[in-house]
Amino acid sequence: MSGLCAVPATAAAAQKKVETRTVAFGKGSEQKIAVYSAGKGKKRPAILLIHGGYWWGGSRLDNKGFAQNLARRGYVVFSTGYRLSQQDPWPAQRQDVVAALANIRGNAKKYGINPARVIVVGASAGGQLATMLGVYGKGAAKVRGVVALSPVDDPLLGYLQGGKAGADTYTRRLRQSVVQLLGCTPVWHDPDCWPQLTDATPAEHAGKGDAPMLLFHSTKDFVGPDHSVALRDELKKAGVPVTVVSVPGKKHGTQMLTSKKVFNQLIRWIAARAK
C-alpha cells in the first residue's frame, strides 16, 4: 500500500534538474503538496500523485522518484498528502485530495500549468482516492484522466475478504484499515455504517461526466481485478472510457511499474490524455 516507485526516464531526460518545493493547502501536517518541476514553461500538463498506505500510512514524499521521473518528461508533478484515518475518518481523505486539486487548478498560472490538462495517478489506498476524484461530482470537468494501480475501489470486498479463513496478512490488514477508514464496521446489524461505506465506494458515485480511467490490478494480488468490476461497469454504462488491465502475478500497486509493459502503457496513456 506504499507510494509510487522510481523508474528511469530516458537518458536525455535524466539530465534535467528537477526543482522541488512544498506548498500547503491546509493547516494540518499532512495537508501539503510536494511540487516537482524541470525547467520553465507555461500551460504545461500536470500530474497529481496520491500515495497509498492503507489510508493510515505513507507520505507525499513516497512518490519522489516517480515524480522526478515524470517531471523530467515535461510534466509539473504534484504529490499530495492527506489526513490519515487514525486521526480523521472518511471523508477527510477525499476532502483533502479535492482541496489539493483545487489548489493546483486555482494556482495554475503560478505553477505554469494548464488547469485543463491534469491527470491523477494513485496507488492502492491512493488509487481509491484517485478514482474518487474522477467520479466525485463531474470528474471530467476537473481532471483529464485517472490512472490507478491496485485501487481499493470496493472497500466492502476488502473487508469481507480479510475475514475469510486463510486470509494473508495484507488482506487482514486491509480489513482492519477499512473499519478504521469508515469509523465503523460494515456489518448488516449496523445500518448506520452503510451510508459511510457507500460514500467511500467510487462506483456509487460513477456516472456521466466522469473522467476516463486506466486501472491496473495484478491477478493474484490481495487487491485484485474484482475490486474494479463495479466501477468499470458503472463507467461503461455511463459511456465513460475505462480500461481494467489484469497483470499476471502478485505485484501490488507501484510494484507493477517494474514491468516495462505496464510502465510504458501508463506513460503512453498519460501522454495521450494530457494532449
Query: pLDDT at position 108, please?
Result: 97
Query: pLDDT at position 5, please?
Result: 45
Nine cell digits for residue 210:
466522469
Nine cell digits for residue 64:
519522489
24 neighbors 82 (Cβ within 8 angstroms): no
Strand partners, 79: 34, 49
124 neighbors 174 (Cβ within 8 angstroms): no
Nine cell digits for residue 113:
500549468
| Mean pLDDT of successive 10-residue stretches along the chain, which has 275 residues | 48 76 96 95 95 97 94 97 97 98 97 97 98 95 98 98 97 98 91 95 98 98 98 98 98 96 98 94
3-class SS letters over 116-149: EEEEEEEECHHHHHHHHHHHCCCHHHCCCEEEEE
Q: What is the pTM of this model?
A: 0.95
44 neighbors 13 (Cβ within 8 angstroms): no
In whole angstroms, how far apart are CA 87 and each of 71, 122, 181? 32, 22, 10
Query: pLDDT at position 67, please?
Result: 96
Query: pLDDT at position 188, please?
Result: 82
Query: pLDDT at position 13, please?
Result: 60
Domain ranges of the chain: 13-154+208-274
Tell me the CATH number for domain 13-154+208-274: 3.40.50.1820
Query: pLDDT at position 7, please?
Result: 45
